[in-house]
Chains A and B, each alone.
Chain A
Amino acid sequence: MSARPHAQAHAWIDADRLGYGAITAAVADPIQKRGPGRAWMIAIIVALPLAVITLIAIGAVLTVGIGLSGVNTTVVWGVSIANYVWWIGIGNAGTLISSMLLLTRQRWRASINRFAEAMTLLAAAIAGLFPIIHLGRPLYAYWLAPYPNTMDLWPQWRSALVWDFWAILSYLLFSGIFWFTGLLPDLATLRDRAETQAGRMVYGALALGWRNSARHWQVFETFHKTMAALAVPLVCSVHSIVGLDFAASLMPGWQESLFPPYFVVGAMYSGFAMVVVLAIIIRWGLDLRAMITPAHFDAMAKVMLFASIVMTFSYATEWFMAWYGGEHADRTVVGYFFTGDYRWLYAALLACNCLVPQALWFRSVRGNLWLLAAIAILINVGMWLERILIVWNTLSHGYAISLWRTYHVSLYDLVILFGPLGLFGLGFLVLARLLPIVSMHEVRQVSHAEGAT
């Protein structure tokens, strides 16, 4: 890593903690030397019941039927699909941060990429649940996979849902591998610092014999960069295909060529917002102020601001094209956005996604973590609203006016809307206790560049 440090005033690591030993201790000690602490226990107590009711809700929908959701004859998709798109969007940012920033040599990514990747993995896994539990017959979800069978039946390849099946599957596999291989040097560090036999055994096994040799490093770097290069198109493809689930239809408000790129940017947008929220929590919870500095937040806030502008532009394009295209149905649906049954939700969406993030133009806002957290949460709310309204608006107000009707949110919908946050939190809390949540080897590289010894 011979590249010169950035020529600007950014300090990616606090000067007084700059040192290989200090960095390693800051990350590894909370896992290996200290107990979970009160904050962690409280967080577990909050997350655990949520996770349990999610599992109960999933059990209920599998045994009683998808009728538990608020879906109806007209609005056949609902909260499950919106949740799916939202979680897969969250899942996008981790890989994007890791790979895109790695390829563009944004060194500041080192402090946040590990938990962003963990976030990806958990979010993509949670997202993967929704398409299954929203099926009428989840038992047969595997029929979307091409497996040899006596009936000689194969998936129907023209369906965007089959593409989606592959997109999620490959994305899950890829993010798992990317995350795990990126962990290898840190697992070796943990193995070396472990104080118990069990710790040495487990971390040792997971470290796959990493010996810190130059040859290891050379192979690792090549592998990691190659994976990163693979990740970028994959990240784009996964959310483009999610966009195609809607765009490859003939319904007004869905059949738009804008959807794939708009979905990718939207995913990046909500993903970054989620990373900001998590970074603030982790920084406070694990006392990682040295490694996650205001400079990081400043950079991420700028990305969010950029994404917000792109999203606003996308919405405007949608409206403009509906008008310019002249298709009666498209115009009707856009009119319905603003005047229909869900108009207040649409107004909230525009406020959260377009208006509020404009505050990030101001340096003082970018520097205030409370404000930043509030904006990031609002962006995530806005992005969920965007996804649910894509489903609701078009389906509630399609071509058949005799069947126009609205969605009735059910208790089950509320549980699977909020419950998975507990599942996610639980997974994250467990990971934070078992594995280094910040990439030690990469931060050490940054610190080398910043003059550590």
Chain B
Amino acid sequence: MPPLSSPSRREALRLLGSGLTLALGACAKPSEEIVPYVRAPEELLPGVPLRYATTLPLSGWGRGVQAIAVDGRPIKIEGNPLHPASRGATDVFAEAAILDLYDPDRSRTVTERVNGIASWEMFVRAWRAPLAKVRGQGGRGLHLLTGRVTSPTLARQIAGLRAALPEAVWHVHEPVDEASAARGANLAFGRPLRALPHLDRAEAILCVGADPLGPGPDQIRFAAAFAERRRDPARFGRLYVAEAAPTLTGIKADHRRALHPRDWAGLLVQVANGLGAGLPAPGLGAEALRFAEAAAADLKAHPGRALVLAGPALPPELHALAHWINGRLRAPVDLIAPPDGADAPPSDLAGLCAALDAGTVEALVILDANPVLTAPADLEIGRRLERARFSVHAGLHGDETAGATHWHLPLTHALESWSDLRATDGTASLVQPLVRPLYGGRSVHEVLALLGGEEAASGHDLVRQTWRAAWRAASGEGGDFETRWRRCLHDGIVAGTAAFPAAAPEPRLPDLPAGPAAGFAVEIRPDPCLWDGRLANTAWLQECPKPVSKQVWGNALALSRGEAARRGVSAGDVVRLSAGGRAVEVTVAIESGVAEGVGALTLGYGRERAGAIGDGIGANAYPLVSAASPWLATGVEMVPAGRRAEVLRTQNDVRIEGETRKLFRQIDLAELARAEPKGIGADQPSLLAPWQGDADGHAWGMVIDTAACIGCNACVVACQSENNVPVVGPEEIARGRMMHWLRVDLYDSGTPEAPRAGFQPVPCMHCEHAPCEPVCPVAASVHDGEGLNLQVYNRCVGTRFCQANCPYKVRRFNFFGYADGQEYAHLGAEPVRAQRNPNVTVRARGVMEKCTYCVQRIATERQAAERDGRPMGAVSTACQSACPTRAIRFGDLNRADDGVAALRRDPRHYALLEELNTRPRTTYLADLRAPNPDLAEDRS
């Protein structure tokens, strides 16, 4: 027992002295040896980027990508042209995966709920007792909860586990699932089949609550097919969309109808009746009826080339009805066995809840899922988890579920681990690590092996075992495994694994259910930026403007102008939505094209344990999600909460009389033959000398096809990733500041009730007579001999005259050191810096920056061409290579064989503000629509 009196003066000084000595000693750097490469590893050249084909998951589905690494440091994601879910392009989620890898908030160590930081060894010791117990019971009491499993290796491991412990139960919970579609297929065909629509072969398309061009694992595939077909005016076709609130598909539609979900059934029935279904006539409004009849007539006129798509919020019966219609239309849809299907179907979350209630859960393993956040709220999983005797969560982040379980194990990121995944069409591809795990995590395969009692399993071996067995089964002993393995790693796909279309019976006509209950309904959607919320801590995605609302750093309840007026709320009011005894407080945003009596809200916000970026941003929509109706909350009560909040947007004005038409050229297909290409205004007189190139003879230019642009933002995030564009944070956005070099403007020439909108990506125009250049007092804004308008960062003093004089307002100013010591939240942390592209300067405070046409890529190609003694080949900018629809084309205007020069002669060609005589190098192709003449006066 130490004395209770305080230490004496001498003692205190002694302690102080020894403490100081120890502290100083501890400051010394640990002795390390740095040894240069004596024999450099092959292919690893300092500063030369290397590409590795790998696969990234989204809701469990694999999308093939090529990850670029410099000096062993992954810095950028690009598409994999060989992979069917990428086709060389990316989406926002794939692009942002690189920042997710470096997220400083990723969990770094095993933790135990009571004692905090622990270790893998401690977990293994703690796991022994529950493992022994469930083993003794043949697995009874062991419950495994995963997300969607498409990985053949993981499926093999789970199957092995279930074989060894037959009483163990496997539950699957995927927040953004396709349960309704799967059940619909079951109703129509009698077995679970997955529909793979071919938008490249469908000319008349009707989407009912469906958003094929919107975010999701199939976005790239659908958008690419859709845009590719539309490039041919003869196969342009017509897209009809009926939906509750605008989606990307709705914006691209030739005819769009804002329709309350309760009328969706009527619309499909009307179309089905047109094909002889003979169902009782629905009570549709006159306008909706006209729309339905026009769509039905168009569909009927294109047998074999017509398609109906039903959205996730539709009940299974309507999915079955859509299958029936598609069957009648001989629609270009392949039906395949679900690639994520297992021999013995897994249980679901409700089953887990029942087991938890029964108190029979000895050990619960949650693998890479966050049910506490994402489970339907009526299951109250967070409370029920308490009833598991032993629970462990493995995940990338110490998220909500990690906080509710006994143990949390850090997982490795997809860019750090060996694995394999299947795409939505069944194509398998390998996941290979680009970097050693940054934070001491283990992959799902290793964790699952560990839980099965196999401690030292390596992910690499597990994946190889899977494929060795698979290939041996397929081709016998003959195949050379190593060669084939290397081929697959190199290509990024396992050839020949795409699912074959299954022979399906004629779809049955289902019995139709009663429509959704009356009253105010809220359609819940995955967020176009944060998806289901797992990406909430990725700053690029938080600051990525939502395609239609342009909102950043938060979500809002989209209401139509009429609905808001009727309910006495205005934009910026916080309202309380309650359904089923749970409530959500969310800010109201007034948006065009939202149906009356319905609101739209996206998932992924309102996170409590996402990290420094995602915590407390926006409103959590999951409490409105119920197990019975996950995507449509009906009978929602809405009352003002009595306060206001700001909806942060990067674009406030989309519809300005007289301006929109000038900036955003829209042509009807019927008038295309009469359209004339518009120049860049080079025929106007000018006091300035015409642009003269240098001896190289290059003239870089870009043409952006606004008809192909679906507004997906892949280019925006790709540009941010490639060019070290910093994130500014919500406070700065509220002050009207932003840094994206490339913005996607939304222009609407319609009305609030019936928008007629389109997207226009706006990078720097690289004007030949650039207004920014003569006004710079220090010549920081200059032109080069290849037509690039360059910004010399270290010469810039920050007068901002260039941006004041830029009619396109494409320049971005570092009001603070956004990348230079004054970063938002934790974005200045050491791991985040590792993401930066070494070929692009990180800009200092007080400096103007802007799109460079990816000058570093041009320089790389020039150097390669000089080294090899050949003419320069094609250069692809980051935005161009990300674009799923190839809407952005970049090239050399002086080369006849380069497509860009030809695009300038396209009848849809025009330049922004060409009357100002700036002679922009970035020009546009007009938006093209094919409205149905029968619906001519109805622009909705």
User: Which chain A residues have a beta carbon within 8 Å of chain B's beta carbons?
Assistant: 64-67, 70-77, 131, 134-138, 140-141, 143-144, 153-156, 158-162, 165, 245, 248-251, 328, 332, 395, 398-408
Contact = CB atoms under 8 A, between A and B. Distances in A.
Contacts of A158: 774-775
B221 to A, nearest CB: 30
B737 A72 contact: yes
A153 B795 contact: yes
Contacts of A160: 775, 801
Nearest to A252: B807
A399 B807 contact: yes
- Size category, B interface: 35 or more
Contacts of A248: 774-775
B801 A161 contact: yes
A245 B800 CA distance: 12
Contacts of B736: 72-75, 405-408
10 contacts: A65-B816, A65-B845, A65-B846, A66-B846, A77-B804, A134-B799, A137-B796, A248-B774, A404-B653, A407-B736
B807 A159 contact: no
Nearest to B649: A405
A119 B894 CA distance: 60
Contacts of B822: 64-65
B426 to A, nearest CB: 41
B846 A153 contact: no
B815 A67 contact: yes
B876 interface: no
A71 B815 contact: yes
Contacts of A131: 799
Interface string B892-921: 000000000000000000000100101000
B54 to A, nearest CB: 36
A398 B807 contact: yes
A136 B762 contact: no
Contacts of B814: 136
B517 interface: no
Most B CB contacts (10 A, CB to CB) among A245, A248, A402, A407 go to A402
B817 to A, nearest CB: 7
Contacts of B913: 399
Contacts of B762: 400, 402
B796 A249 contact: no
Given A401-B656, A405-B736, A136 B847 contact: yes
B807 A251 contact: yes
Contacts of A64: 816, 822
Nearest to B654: A402
Contacts of A249: 771, 775, 801, 804-805
Nearest to B663: A401
Interface string B439-469: 0000000000000000000000000000000
A161 B816 contact: no
Contacts of B658: 328
Scoring A135, A156, A160, A248 by chain B CB atoms within 10 A of each residue's CB, the highest score goes to: A156
B775 A403 contact: no
Contacts of B737: 67, 72-73
Contacts of B774: 156, 158-159, 248
Most A C-beta atoms less than 10 A away, residue of B654, B816, B848: B816
A402 B761 CA distance: 11
B778 A76 contact: no
A75 B800 CA distance: 10
Given A67-B816, A251-B807, A143 B916 contact: no
A141 to B, nearest CB: 7
B258 to A, nearest CB: 23
B487 interface: no
A128 to B, nearest CB: 15
For the complex of A and B, list the 7 residue pairs with the smallest distance between their C-beta atoms, beginning with the closest: A136-B798, A136-B846, A72-B736, A67-B815, A76-B800, A161-B777, A156-B779
Contact of A140 (B797, B812, B816): B797
A311 B478 CA distance: 94
Contacts of B407: none
Contacts of B652: 404-405
B651 A161 contact: no
B653 A73 contact: no
A77 B801 CA distance: 8
Contact of A250 (B659, B803, B807, B846): B807
